[in-house]
Structure 1
C-alpha cells in the first residue's frame, strides 16, 4: 500500500447557496425573532404587490378618461347604502373607482420614493467618498454646500425646486416630466445625509493599513474608494435609505397635496388626498379617508422595517 492510499479522501467542496447563507445569518435570525418587523414586511409586500398588479386586479384604469362615467360619481363604499359593485371603496366626483385610484396612486408614490432614494444615494455616496478620501478644498466645498442645504427646510427646497423646474419645462412636457421633477426636488436635499455618512467613514478608512498598502502598489483612488471604502459604509447607508424611502413618499404626497406635485391626470396618494379634502365635509368622506389610510400604512410599514434594520445592524445592541 502506498502512502497516497493511506491519505483520507478529500471531502467534496460544496458551495453553499446564497439562500442558505442568508438563513444562517445574524440578520435573518434577528428578523425571525421580531414579530413587528415580520408584520411590517408582510404589510409592505402586500401594498407593493397590489400596487404593481393594479392593471390586472382593479376594475378600472383611473388614467383612462374614457373609462370614467359621471353617472357613477360619488358612490359610497359597497357596504354603505347606495354602494355598487365593483366599486368596493366607492367613487370620486368623476366616477373614478377609489380602489383603482389608490392602487395606481400607490404605485406612483412608491416609484418616486425608490427613484429619489436611488438618485440621492448615488450622488451623496459619490460626493462623500470624494470629500472624505481626498479632503482639502473638495471636502470644504462639498460640506459647506451641504451645510447651506441643511440650513433650509427640506420641504421649502422641494417646493422651490419643483416650482422652478415646472416653469422651466415646456408646457407639453410638464405633465410627462412631473415625476422626474419631484425626484429631483427630493434628491437635492436628501443627498447631504448620505454624503456626511460616507465622508465620516472614508476619513477613518483612508488612514488604515490596507488602504496605505493599496496606495503603495499603485491602486487607483477610484478602485480604493469603490472596492475597499464604500463596502464599509453599506450598513449605515442601508438604514438611511430605508428610512428616507418613507420620507420621500411623504414629501411627494405633501408636494402633491400643495398642488406642485403630480397632476390630477396622474394621481398619486397626495393628489387623491388633496382632491378628497375639498369634499370632506360634504359627506363624501371615503374620497379622502382611504387614500390617507393607504399612505399611513405604507409609511408606517417602511419606518417599522427601518427601525428594526437599524437595531439589527447595530453591534452595540446585540
Structure 2
C-alpha cells in the first residue's frame, strides 16, 4: 500500500518571469549595421568628426570667444591678428582675426552652424517633397506619373547650381529690402530644395512600382484600405534604405551648394556669415599675407563635407545586400 504523501513534500513551482525583450539600443548594437560600422575605421572617424563639428557649431554661444553677429564686440584695433602660434598672436584669438576684427574661431563656429542648419533644412524639405511625389507617381502611374516625372526630368536637365542661383536671385529681389537679410536662409533652403527633391522622387517611384505589384499591396486593395494608408504604412517603409543613403550624401551636397551661392554673393549676408561667406571675404586677402582668413574656413568646410561623404559611402555599402 503506497504511503500517503504529505503536503509539505509537494514542491510548488516558482512562477517563471518573462524574459525581457532587448531595447532598441541593444538590438541596434547586435545588428549587422553596427557590426559593419565598428569594423570600418574610416566610418568611425568620420562619424566622430561630424559629431564634433556639429556639437561645437551649435555650442558656439557657449564656447566662442566672440559673438560675430554682435557688431558691438568688433573693433578694428583687433584686425588682422595672426594665429596664436604666429608672431603677434594674441589671446583669446586662437585662429587670428579678419580685417574687421572678427575672431576667426568664433566666425567659423557660427558660420558652420548656419551652413549645417541650411543643409539639414533643405534635405528634410527635399525629402518630404520627393517622398510624397515619388509615392504618388509610382502608386497611381499613368497621367500623374508622366506629369510629375517629366517635370523632374526638366529640372534634372539643368545644372543644380544654375537652378539654385536663379531661384535665389529671383526670390531675393522679390523680397522687400528690409526682409532680405532675415529671409536669406529661407531663400537658400528653397533654392536648394527645388533642385534636390527630384532624386528622392525618382528613387521612391522606382521602389513603389515594384512594391505595388506584390501580394500584400494587392490584399490591402481588396480589403478597401485607403490608398494613402497603403502608401504610407506599407510601401514607404520598404523604400527607406536607398533614401537614407541618398539623404546622407545630399546633406554634404547641400552644404557645398550653400557655400557656393554664398561665395558668389547671392547667399548669406555679411551680417550672418556662413562658411561660404567667410571664404568669399577671405579670398580677397589671400595674397596679402592674411592667409588664415580664408584657409581655416576652407579647412572647416572640407572636414564637414568629407565626413558626411565618407559616412554616406559606408552606409551605401553597409545597406547593400550584394556586398554582405
TM-score range normalised by the length of the shorter chain: over 0.9
Tell me the equivalent position of 1:248. Answer: 254
1:271 positional shift: 0.1
Query: Could you tell me the TM-score, scaled by structure 2's length?
Result: 0.95
> Which residue is 1:115 aligned to?
121
Matches within 5 A, 1:215-254: 215-254=221-260
* TM-score, length-scaled by structure 1: 0.97
Could you tell me how far apart the structure 2 residues matched to 1:212 and 1:7 are? 49
Rounded Cα–Cα distance in structure 2 between residues aligned with 1:18 and 1:208: 29
Per-residue CA deviation, residues 213-262 of structure 1 (Å, 9 max, x unaligned), is 10111110000000000000110000000000000000000000000000
TM-superposed CA distance for 1:9, in Å, is 5.5
Residues 150-200 of structure 1 show CA distances to partners (whole Å, capped at 9, x for unaligned) of 000000000000000000111111100000000000010110000000000
- Which of 266, 269, 273 matches 1:267? 273
- Distance in 2, matches of 1:6 and 1:314, equals 53
What CA deviation, in whole Å up to 9, does each residue of 1:4-51 have, x standing for no partner? x99996551412111110111110010010000000001001100100
Q: 1:82 is matched with which residue: 49, 71, 88?
A: 88
Indicate the residue corresponding to 2:300 in structure 1: 294
More displaced stretch, 255-264 vs 15-24: 15-24
Distance in 2 (CA, whole Å) between partners of 1:58 and 1:164 is 35
Structure 2 residue 102 is matched with structure 1 residue 101? no
Name the counterpart of 1:188. 194
Is structure 2 residue 319 aligned with structure 1 residue 313? yes
| SS of residue paired to 2:170 | helix
Trace 1:1-318 onto structure 2 (pairs within 5 A).
10=16, 12-318=18-324
Aligned equivalents of 1:289, 1:151: Cα separation in 2: 34
CA displacement 1:64-107 (0-9 Å, x = unmatched): 00000110000000110111100000000110000000000000
Query: Aligned partners of 2:57 and 2:150: how far apart in 1?
Result: 40
User: Unaligned regions of 5+ residues in structure 2, if any?
Assistant: 1-6
Distance in 1 (CA, whole Å) between partners of 2:26 and 2:298 is: 40
Measured in 1, the distance between the counterparts of 2:151 and 2:117 equals 28
Secondary structure (helix, strand or coil) at the match of 1:149 reads helix
Matched residues in 2 for 1:138 and 1:175: separation?
Answer: 38
Distance in 1 separating the partners of 2:90 and 2:75: 13
After the TM superposition, which segments of 4 or more aligned residues of structure 1 sit over 3 Å from their partners? Answer: 5-11
Which structure has the bigger radius of gyration? 2
Aligned alpha-carbon RMSD (Å)? 1.3
What secondary structure does 2:95 align onto?
A: coil
